[in-house]
Amino acid sequence: MQRIAVLASGRGSNLQAIIDAISAGDLAAGIVGVFSDKPAAAALQRVAPELRWSADARAYPSREDFDADLADAVAACRPDWVVCAGYLRILGDAFVERFRDRLLNIHPSLLPKYPGLRTHARAIADGEREHGASVHFVIPELDAGNVIAQAVVPVLAGDDVDSLSARVLAVEHPLLVAVLRLAVSGRLAEQGTTISVDGHPLFTALRLDSAGVLHAHHVPGASPSVPV
């Protein structure tokens, strides 16, 4: 059984999607810990007390001190995969290096567009026609790691941040579960700067279709999109 640790700062709906997929038999994994920089985070309440770890990051003298405690706690639960699911604090280089190649993040934009915060507001302000979410490997540079898969939604006339973020969140959940399914089945790997799926290098992010299936991206004139 593959072991998943989840880092979350807020409400934890992505964590809940993982929990639900495991309960439904759609994801062959177990959650071995939920970690938060916010002791009041609702995400923590979604798992049993013995799986919760939190500390108030503001009570630490430095980012490095907090990250060191967090990293030790995460390592103690021996995760195969560490998933940032609404974890709103930047992870320092030491943490990232310790869990690199098994550290994933879900980000609410079509990276490389809109790294950082306020992604929905920026997409609306720019008049984007499409927006979405990305799951990527984490590297020290913010939201800049290799993108594994994306889900795309339209931006509709009259959208505000609430309506657009709700549409994106609805695809984040199946996107994250689909990527984790690849990860826990041993089909996904990162070697150096290259992602591979089933041993084949992935040059373009996978796309989630409306049935929740990931496809290798269709390139016009090239081979058709294939489910993975």
The span from the CA of 167 to the CA of 216, in Å, is: 23
Supply 154's token pair: 């339209």
User: In angstroms, what is the minimal distance from the CB of 42 to ligand GRF?
Assistant: 8
Q: Which residues contact 207 (CB under 8 A, 6 or more apart)?
A: 149, 150, 151, 152, 214, 215, 217, 218, 225
Closer Cβ to ligand GRF, 38 or 207, answer by number: 38
By CB under 6 A, tell whether 86 contacts ligand GRF.
yes
By CB under 6 A, tell whether 14 contacts ligand GRF.
yes
Closer Cβ to ligand GRF, 132 or 216, answer by number: 132
Closer Cβ to ligand GRF, 41 or 195, answer by number: 41
107 a catalytic residue: yes
- Sheet strand arrangement including 214-215: 52-54, 29-36, 2-7, 81-84, 103-107, 130-137, 147-154, 206-208, 214-215
Q: In a 3-state reduction of DSSP, which class is residue 146?
A: coil
Closer Cβ to ligand GRF, 142 or 189, answer by number: 142
The span from the CA of 184 to the CA of 30, in Å, is: 10
Cα–Cα separations (whole angstroms), residue 220 to 15, 19, 146, 224: 36, 37, 23, 8
The span from the CA of 135 to the CA of 61, in Å, is: 31
User: In angstroms, what is the minimal distance from the CB of 227 to ligand GRF?
Assistant: 24
Closer Cβ to ligand GRF, 120 or 207, answer by number: 120
Sort strands 2-7 and 147-154 into parallel, antiparallel or unpaired. unpaired
By CB under 6 A, tell whether 6 contacts ligand GRF.
no
Figure out which of the listed residues 29, 57, 103, 106 binds ligand GRF, where binding follows CB under 6 A: 106
Number of residues that bind ligand GRF (CB under 6 A): 15
By CB under 6 A, tell whether 12 contacts ligand GRF.
yes
By CB under 6 A, tell whether 115 contacts ligand GRF.
no
By CB under 6 A, tell whether 30 contacts ligand GRF.
no
By CB under 6 A, tell whether 13 contacts ligand GRF.
yes
By CB under 6 A, tell whether 107 contacts ligand GRF.
yes
Binding site for ligand GRF (CB under 6 A): 8, 10-14, 43, 85-86, 106-108, 133, 169, 172
Q: Which residues are catalytic?
A: 107
